């Protein structure tokens, strides 16, 4: 632990630094590959929408004695359509079918009860119309749009519009990766999934704002010196907040992983799984994007400004002359890497030899 703290101190002081911003093309390629896979899975496989979005009937059979195959055969025989049947670790079987009338759903519940050794009252039946899912999707989209507008205004006022753009790019990056993994793995998208997606928006922005706040601090008045470019200062900010980002992510992911393992794996709470998977994927993607996407993209935008271009030219010219500052000086924002030169002025030569003056005669000899 002490060694980890020592590394964190050295990163903050600039004694150790990794060039995150300078290697931005590498991170862009990695993100592009992940996004292509995610978008491809979304277009080819699509999302496995839950019954809440596509509509249908849901039958929950606790402590069922029948097999998943028997329950599926019974449901498909009664409805004449494909049924989705899953079983949790606690032995609960969930049967999902297309929309059914009240009479048909009651009849199917009775058939499943007889097959699985239950009473009809033991089976929980839920019938959802497709319009309800459409309303949920519309409300979620409206909430997302309002959230993005408010975030853009806040970031533009507190930071600047370039930071707002970089933060939104990283946010879209995280959302697409999370949704793409759901499409790739076939995980069911439920209202709990939507809640998880909306939650990771705040987490992703929090991590990005922490880094940007340090970037803002490091780049204050940066155009008035010639030691480091904007990219250097931004990269220093990433290194200084790196340990904090890792610690925050680990602390946030531990309870989420506990929900997945204990809640969904051992207790069989499917709703917890829908929520926790979205949170876990989004948190991991948010940590990655704040370091490898948001800050390098921000530096790329800032380096296009005329004053930042002039600053880069001065810094590069200084470095070509062999007066590049040490990393610790960059961390301290020092502009004293070049040795001071004293101003030449008039010099006075002092003769240190003994002064040769005639001796004065005594008063008695002068009178004589």
CATH number (domain holding residue 179)? 1.20.1640.10
- 217 and 83 part of one domain: no
pLDDT band at 17 (very low <50, low <70, confident <90, very high): confident
Last residue of a domain, one of 261, 292, 308: 308
| Predicted pLDDT of residue 23 | 92
pLDDT of residue 262 exceeding 80, the answer is no
| Predicted pLDDT of residue 11 | 59
Find the mean pLDDT for residues 211-231.
90
Q: What is the pLDDT of residues 315-332, one digit of tens each?
A: 999 888 875 554 455 555
- 184 and 89 part of one domain: no
Instruction: Identify whether 178 is part of a domain.
Output: yes
Instruction: Identify whether 338 is part of a domain.
Output: no
pLDDT of residue 347 exceeding 60, the answer is no
- 179 and 270 part of one domain: yes
Q: What is the pLDDT of residues 90-100, one digit of tens each?
A: 678 888 888 88
Quote the number of domains for the chain.
Answer: 2
| Predicted pLDDT of residue 10 | 63
Find the mean pLDDT for residues 221-236.
90
pLDDT, averaged across the chain: 80
CA of 179: how far to CAs of 45, 174, 285, in Å?
A: 12, 9, 11
pLDDT of residue 340 exceeding 50, the answer is no
Share of the chain above pLDDT 90, in %: 28
Instruction: Identify whether 165 is part of a domain.
Output: yes
pLDDT band at 103 (very low <50, low <70, confident <90, very high): confident
| Predicted pLDDT of residue 54 | 80
């Amino acid at each position: 632990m002490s060694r980890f703290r020592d590394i964190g101190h050295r990163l903050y002081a600039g004694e150790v630094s990794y060039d995150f911003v300078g290697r931005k093309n590498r991170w862009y390629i990695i993100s592009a590959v992940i996004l292509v896979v995610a978008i491809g899975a979304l277009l080819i496989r699509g999302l496995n929408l839950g019954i809440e979005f596509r509509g249908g009937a849901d039958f929950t059979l606790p402590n069922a004695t029948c097999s998943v195959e028997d329950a599926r055969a019974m449901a498909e025989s009664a409805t004449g359509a494909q049924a989705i049947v899953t079983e949790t670790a606690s032995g609960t079987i969930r049967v999902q079918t297309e929309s059914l009338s009240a009479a048909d759903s009651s009849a199917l519940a009775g058939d499943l009860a007889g097959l699985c050794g239950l009473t009809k009252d033991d089976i929980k039946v839920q019938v959802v119309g497709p319009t309800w899912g459409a309303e949920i999707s519309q409300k979620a989209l409206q909430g997302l749009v309002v959230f993005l507008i408010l975030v853009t205004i806040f970031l533009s006022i507190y930071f600047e519009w370039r930071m707002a753009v970089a933060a939104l790019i990283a946010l879209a990056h995280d959302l697409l990766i999370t949704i793409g993994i759901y499409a790739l793995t076939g995980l069911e998208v439920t209202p709990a999934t939507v809640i998880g997606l909306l939650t990771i928006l705040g987490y992703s922005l929090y991590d990005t704002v922490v880094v940007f706040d340090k970037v803002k601090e490091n780049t204050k008045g940066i155009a008035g010196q010639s030691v480091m470019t904007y990219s250097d200062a931004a990269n220093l900010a990433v290194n200084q907040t790196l340990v904090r980002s890792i610690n925050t992510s680990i602390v946030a992911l531990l309870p989420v992983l506990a929900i997945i393992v204990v809640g969904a794996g051992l207790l069989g709470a499917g709703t917890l799984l829908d929520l926790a998977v979205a949170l876990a994927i989004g948190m991991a993607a948010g940590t990655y994007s704040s370091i490898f996407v948001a800050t390098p993209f921000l530096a790329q935008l800032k380096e296009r400004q005329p004053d930042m271009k002039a600053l880069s030219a001065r810094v590069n010219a200084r470095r070509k002359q062999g007066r590049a500052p040490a990393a610790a000086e960059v961390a301290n924002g020092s502009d004293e890497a070049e040795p001071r030169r004293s101003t030449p002025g008039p010099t006075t030569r002092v003769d240190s030899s003994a002064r040769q003056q005639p001796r004065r005669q005594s008063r008695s000899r002068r009178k004589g």
